[in-house]
Amino acid sequence: MTASPDRAFSRVALTALSAAVLLAAPLSAQDAEPTPPRPRLPAAADTNDWGQYFDLGVEMLKRRNGDFAAAFYWASRLNPERAEPLFARWVAFHLSDYDRWTRYLDRDARVLRDPVVLRADSLRLRAYLRNPFVPQTLEVLLYDQLPGTWRRTDLTRGLLAYSERNFPRALEHWGRAIKKDPVRFAGARRMRAEVFVLLARYDSALAELVALRAQLAREDSLELVREYQSKALLDYAIGLLHGVLGNQQAGREAMGDALAENLAFYPAHVFLGDQALRAGDVSTAVREYEAARELESADAALWYRYGLALSRAGRTADARQALERAVELEPFYAAPWLALGRSRQAAGDRAGARAALERFIALAPRSDTAPVAEARRRLAALDSP
């Protein structure tokens, strides 16, 4: 018998950092689903803007009218760095089959091992790796399908307030739940952290995750730890918050903790590479991106970062290869095309540079005015004697 909405939410939605997610289909697995046609946007919309497709998908999903899954799919293709479309694709997948969703909640082994379900769960994993604080308001729509009514607890009242974007009320309810039973409702700390991030209260978000991490360390033998085995993802989230707050050393230490928990946790290397590149330590940035690339070879955004770092290191041929790999993995991702155009132009490949720059202009959203202007200047220089 399927759990009631409040019990299902308690068991599944608040275990977003669980081992079940991290043991989903590998991130490097390519999408096996056929490419859907692009949904039609309003006449004035920017068809190169991932946000336009994402907003259309949300509107369709809430009305249950139109191909919202295709809208989210194209949002994720146009900007693979964003977490929101990936998470929305996971929601759309489960909304497509109510019976499968109920069996998923009941932890039906056949459903959990289904390659199609594993591939969908990998979308949620990818979303968390992009942004462990990705908003999850759309997930409430999945629980609304369940039979029964929402039992009025602080946990569910907080969820309903969250779905209505009444964030102060959500924080209040979840705070009361934690006070009543800090072990049973430990997951509410993660949700409170997400809301604090939405409110730009990063120090409060950090305090929640540090408290949750300390609780895990104290209670390794309890069900709490079995629900939250992904300590690496939790350490990663803590490190990101330290970075936002300017605590660079603390951020590096948290990423070290993440790698100590899971040596294959490549986003920690990406963070360290980003941090080094911003500080001008190009050699460290290259080394960290290389470590990440060895662990995850099919991330277009990672190959783009790696190509930029190699360019700054003066390794122009290697940079060009990395950027070509980025556009091969995701040809609709605009940013690497401009970097590839620069690289080819520097190498004297006029035809290749022109092709890359024209491709960037064709793919760039209207908001990228400065990069598009640069691409046009470079094209003009290529056309000059």
pLDDT tens for each residue of 304-315: 999 999 999 999
pLDDT at 89: 96
Residue 66 has pLDDT above 90, yes or no: no
Residue 56 has pLDDT above 60, yes or no: yes
Residue 23 has pLDDT above 60, yes or no: no
pLDDT bin (cut points 50, 70, 90) of residue 118 is very high
Residue 205 has pLDDT above 80, yes or no: yes
Cα–Cα separations (whole angstroms), residue 60 to 54, 63, 68, 186, 278: 10, 5, 5, 34, 39
Helices and strands, number each (H, E), in the chain: 23, 0
23-27, 103-107, 114-118, 192-196, range with the lowest pLDDT: 23-27
Sign of CA dihedral 295, 298, 302, 303: positive
Which two tokens mark 286?
């290259």
More confident call, 139 vs 167:
167
Residue 343 has pLDDT above 80, yes or no: yes
C-alpha to C-alpha distance for 350 and 384, rounded to whole angstroms:
11
pLDDT at 176: 95
Residue 367 has pLDDT above 60, yes or no: yes
pLDDT at 16: 44
Which two tokens mark 288?
């960290």
Within a 10 A sphere around the Cβ of 338, how many other Cβ atoms? 23
pLDDT at 338: 98
**Inter-residue contact 286 to 309 (CB < 8 Å):** yes
Cα–Cα separations (whole angstroms), residue 274 to 86, 250, 304, 374: 22, 15, 12, 24
Dihedral pair phi/psi, residue 167, rounded to 5°: -65, -40
pLDDT bin (cut points 50, 70, 90) of residue 6 is low
Cα–Cα separations (whole angstroms), residue 219 to 15, 228, 229, 231, 265: 16, 11, 12, 13, 23
Q: What is the pLDDT of residues 311-336, one digit of tens each?
A: 999 999 999 999 999 999 999 999 99
Residue 253 has pLDDT above 60, yes or no: yes
